[in-house]
């Protein structure tokens, strides 16, 4: 993304002038594609769809982004006490913009939040979209600051709403939500009652939300539709990386107990079983755990949908034992990451394949990512960790994706 100081894009007269306040806010000074943004002052994160560029702001607390597809994102932070609640802030936005649409307050991860529909009439053409208002992390004993994010564009563009929802869903109010379902997904599909679910091909039960599979599946469909827009774009690789990053983030919390149960079962079988050789060292145990998790996903039923997203959401993959190479690789990496083993994935458009990557010791094929060598994991063939088919072994045709930041 472009750095501040470039020519502002034109907006309706006075559209944001009422939002200028005297609070310090700054993003990291340099933006790059496929990288989430972070506010070191307010602590929130933003992972916009590719193609959004920084366009204008006051250099303090207000930033605007415009996409090459016509979408606009405006973000402002309000200090403690300026508005009594996100709902009040959303109401003020609606009134000042003379917008039509409902306002829906809700709770997102113990933070008050509100979503407002935007329908704005203006001489140059109607605008539509959504506004997300949410509490940020508290800064002492007083009320927390509030964030307002507007995603909007020409009402005539029926292809843009999915980008608005994806952009707003990428907002992470604080470190506590960094690896959690996004605020739009959580609003649309609350997790519901936490219920036991059986792990595929294992006599184990773990706790997940009763709506987790439906929510994860809906997210896959939405983000695949967003990704499809980049098919012929020079940003296709960055969009692909973001696609997997978004799905990993959404599932990380949903599958927390599943990863814990999986590790406890492995510990009982490997560490406490005398025939396994007992406790060795942390490095050999990490590899043994990665191998066990790999064996599990290798036993899934191979499934792909050539007419859809071609990706089984991770909740369904884990509980139903099915999926293509990328859903298996991402699930495997999540289980490792949840158990403090650095993990990633690699994907290849040339090979039409995906594999897992792990920071574990021992022999095997390696892939360099972020200046480190990672052991490769083939998730669709019954082979040991580190083995890779010669027909898919050229590293030039693979893209590494680091999932934990």
Q: Tell me the domain boundaries of the chain.
A: 17-178, 194-402
pTM score of the predicted model: 0.89
**Cα 286 to Cα 231: distance, rounded to the nearest angstrom:** 38
Q: What is the pLDDT of residue 75?
A: 96
**Cα 248 to Cα 180: distance, rounded to the nearest angstrom:** 9
Question: What are the distances in angstroms from CA 174 to CA 46, 171, 256, 310?
Answer: 11, 9, 19, 32
At a CB cut-off of 8 Å and minimum separation 6, what does 49 contact? 67, 163, 166, 167, 226, 239, 242
Q: What is the pLDDT of residue 308?
A: 63
Q: Using N-to-C axis directions, what is the helix angle for 212-228 and 161-169, rounded to 10°?
A: 120
Give the DSSP H or E segment for 250: helix 236-254
**Cα 146 to Cα 233: distance, rounded to the nearest angstrom:** 35
User: Quick one: 17-178 is in which CATH superfamily?
Assistant: Mog1/PsbP, alpha/beta/alpha sandwich (3.40.1000.10)
* 240 token code pair: 């692909």
Q: What is the pLDDT of residue 59?
A: 61
**Cα 142 to Cα 135: distance, rounded to the nearest angstrom:** 12
* Dihedral sign from CA coordinates of 170, 176, 181, 186: negative
**Cα 254 to Cα 209: distance, rounded to the nearest angstrom:** 7
Q: What is the pLDDT of residue 18?
A: 27
Dihedral, CA atoms, 204, 385, 247, 156, nearest 10 degrees? -140
Q: Which single residue is written with the structure tokens 């608005």?
A: 164
* 83 token code pair: 């508005």
Three-state SS at 295: helix
H-type helices in 192-235, by residue range?
212-228
> For 284-287, which contacts have Cβ atoms below 8 Å and span 24 or more sequence positions?
284/361, 284/362, 286/341, 286/358, 286/360, 286/361, 287/360, 287/361, 287/362, 287/375, 287/385
| Cα separation of the two ends of the chain | 19
**Cα 157 to Cα 9: distance, rounded to the nearest angstrom:** 19
3-state helix, strand, coil in the chain (%, to 5): 30, 25, 45
Q: Which single residue is written with the structure tokens 């193609």?
A: 51
CATH number for the segment(s) 194-402: 3.10.620
Report DSSP state, residue 391: G
Dihedral, CA atoms, 57, 59, 62, 63, nearest 10 degrees? 50
**Helix-then-strand count for the chain, H and E:** 9, 18
Give the DSSP H or E segment for 322: strand 322-323
Residues of the chain with pLDDT under 70: 1-34, 59, 273-281, 305-309
At a CB cut-off of 8 Å and minimum separation 6, what does 374 contact? 344, 357, 358, 359, 366, 367, 368, 400
**Cα 63 to Cα 57: distance, rounded to the nearest angstrom:** 4
**Cα 225 to Cα 221: distance, rounded to the nearest angstrom:** 6
**Cα 341 to Cα 361: distance, rounded to the nearest angstrom:** 11
């Amino acid at each position: 993304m472009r750095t501040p100081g470039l020519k502002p894009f034109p907006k309706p007269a006075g559209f944001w002038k009422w939002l200028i306040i005297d609070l310090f806010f700054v993003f990291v000074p340099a933006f790059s594609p496929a990288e989430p943004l972070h506010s070191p002052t307010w602590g929130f994160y933003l992972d916009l769809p590719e193609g959004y560029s920084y366009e204008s702001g006051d250099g303090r607390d207000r930033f605007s982004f415009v996409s090459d597809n016509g979408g606009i994102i405006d973000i402002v932070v309000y200090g403690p006490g300026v508005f009594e609640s996100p709902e009040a802030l959303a109401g003020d936005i609606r009134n000042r913009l003379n917008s039509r649409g409902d306002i829906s307050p809700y709770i997102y991860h113990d933070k008050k939040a509100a979503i407002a529909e935007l329908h704005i009439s203006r001489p140059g053409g109607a605008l539509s979209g959504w506004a997300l208002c949410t509490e940020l992390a508290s800064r002492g004993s007083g009320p927390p600051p509030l964030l307002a994010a507007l995603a909007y564009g020409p009402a005539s563009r029926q292809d843009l709403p999915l980008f608005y929802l994806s952009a707003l869903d990428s907002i992470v109010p604080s470190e506590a939500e960094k690896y959690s379902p996004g605020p739009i997904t959580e609003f649309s599909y609350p997790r519901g009652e936490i219920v036991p679910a059986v792990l595929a091909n294992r006599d184990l039960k773990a706790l997940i939300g009763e709506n987790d599979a439906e929510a994860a599946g809906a997210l896959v469909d939405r983000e695949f539709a967003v990704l499809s827009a980049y098919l012929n774009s020079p940003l296709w690789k960055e969009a692909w990386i973001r696609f997997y990053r978004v799905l990993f983030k959404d599932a990380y919390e949903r599958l927390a107990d599943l990863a814990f149960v999986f590790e406890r079962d492995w510990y009982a079988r490997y560490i406490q079983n005398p025939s396994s050789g007992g406790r060795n060292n942390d490095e050999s145990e990490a590899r043994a755990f990665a191998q066990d998790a790999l064996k599990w996903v290798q036993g899934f039923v191979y499934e792909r949908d050539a007419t859809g997203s071609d990706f089984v959401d991770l909740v369904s993959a884990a509980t139903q034992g099915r999926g293509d190479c990328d859903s298996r690789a991402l699930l495997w990496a999540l289980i490792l990451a949840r158990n403090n083993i650095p993990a990633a994935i690699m994907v290849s458009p040339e090979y039409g394949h995906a594999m897992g990557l792990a920071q574990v010791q021992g022999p095997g094929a390696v892939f360099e990512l972020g200046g480190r060598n990672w052991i490769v994991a083939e998730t669709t063939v019954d082979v040991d960790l580190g083995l890779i088919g010669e027909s898919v072994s050229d590293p030039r045709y693979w893209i590494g994706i680091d999932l934990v930041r």
